Structure 1
């Protein structure tokens, strides 16, 4: 009997464990390589966000990263102190700062992008394009199911708060 014929709903737990193990290993490996750039993992994410959204305000960054403005403010302060970003007062509104990368920040973003690219290549070594396509479709289905569960939880919380 083929391996696929043996698959049953009992394998759900093992599949979830494999996904969790993958995520943990991937994070550790990425952290190892990203540490060499001198910037913490969360700061990489913020630097890349600034790179992709030049002159974005702190509030824009907080919204796009789905974190509080206070969290962004603390991270930006550290990045500015380290010489990775520059904040400039918005000419139209003094309450807002436009965030831009310095040359040092751009170098870290480029290093990070190379690390991500190299790691992605190694992770998918030996995979055909068809296999990657099937995996992507399956992961999208899993993500869709999780999104539905999140929506159910939000609805449940709204109902509970009205009681």
Structure 2
């Protein structure tokens, strides 16, 4: 692989992700959320409830990080914890009406920003980018799993 092209790609990806994070932070901060909380809320809203371990796995983060996030969000009334009826050791996390209202506003803000991000790209170009990005992610996941010998519970 041509080193200068791959180096330039990494540089552009890094810049893109920093810009998007900065933009997303401003948009969701306006409704009282953090970008990581938006992703967590979106996952929970798509299901009736989830365990913290399931959230950690889907978010590619440590369970302890999810615990902190859920605690903060529960204290503001965005999420609620309930004991699993079959296994009292487990907490099921669900979104509250307040959380749904904030999620709706934040998602509308993000959709507007994402429309701008992808402005000028055809559907075919977006499909191709998605394919490339998915393949790159899978390459890194395979490398991580091979080097760790397992998924270490967070993938």
- In the superposition, the TM-score normalised over structure 1's length comes to 0.77
Residue 122 of structure 1: aligned partner: 116
Report the Cα offset of residue 52 of structure 1: 1.8
Residue 22 of structure 1: aligned partner: 16
Aligned length: 148
Q: Which structure dedicates a bigger proportion of its chain to helix?
A: 1
User: What do residues 51-98 of structure 1 show as CA deviations (whole Å, max 9, x unaligned)?
Assistant: 123221223223332333332222212111101112222222222222
Larger Rg: 1
RMSD: 2.1
Distance 1:21 1:102 in 2: 35
Single out whichever of 128-137 and 114-123 deviates more from structure 2: 128-137
Structure 2 segments unaligned to the other structure (5+ residues): 150-155
Residue 78 of structure 1: aligned partner: 72
Report the Cα offset of residue 126 of structure 1: 1.1
State whether residues 27 and 110 of structure 2, in contact with CA within 8 Å, keep that contact through their aligned partners in structure 1: no
Structure 1 segments unaligned to the other structure (5+ residues): 1-7, 156-163
Equivalent residues in 2 for 1:14-163, closer than 5 Å: 14-154=8-148
Distance 1:80 1:102 in 2: 9
SS in 2 for 1:53: coil
SS in 2 for 1:67: coil
- Does the C-alpha gap of structure 1 residues 143 and 106 become closer, same or farther in structure 2, counting only changes over 3 Å? same
Distance 2:128 2:120 in 1: 14
- In the superposition, the TM-score normalised over structure 2's length comes to 0.81
Residue 158 of structure 1: aligned partner: none
User: What do residues 3-44 of structure 1 show as CA deviations (whole Å, max 9, x unaligned)?
Assistant: xxxxx6532221221111111111111111011110122222
Distance 1:68 1:145 in 2: 21
Single out whichever of 135-144 and 122-131 deviates more from structure 2: 135-144
